[in-house]
Amino acid sequence: MVDAPEGFEVPVYRGPLKPQLLWGAHRDFTLLMAGLGALGFLWKVWLLLPLVAVLQLVAAWGTRQDEKWFQKIPRVVRYKRYYKA
């Protein structure tokens, strides 16, 4: 490792680099699930509430496995399984 000259060193904090979590899953996904749960409650679609709870648990489990799974989903969806030769 090369030593930097005096005054050219900057500490890097991990806080801004880590994803923001809410209830163990990514904040955006959790807010989406909370909104769906609220709509299910208002529209009296009671089957939606357990579905939202299960999706939130799966998201929390996925976040424990890999913190960046939420960013990988769009890439997987756009990935072509077959390319013409």
Return phi, psi of residue 21, to 5°: -110, 150
Domain range annotation of the chain: 19-78
Q: What one-character-per-residue DSSP string does the chain give?
A: -PPPPTT------SGGGSPPEETTEEHHHHHHHHHHHHHHHHTT-TTHHHHHHHHHHHHHHHHHH-TTHHHHHHHHHH--S----
pLDDT of residue 1: 63
Query: In the predicted model, what is the mean pLDDT of residues 15-39?
Result: 86
* Mean pLDDT computed over every residue of the chain: 85
CA–CA dist 1, 18 (Å, integer): 25
Residue 54 — pLDDT band, cuts 50, 70, 90?
Answer: very high
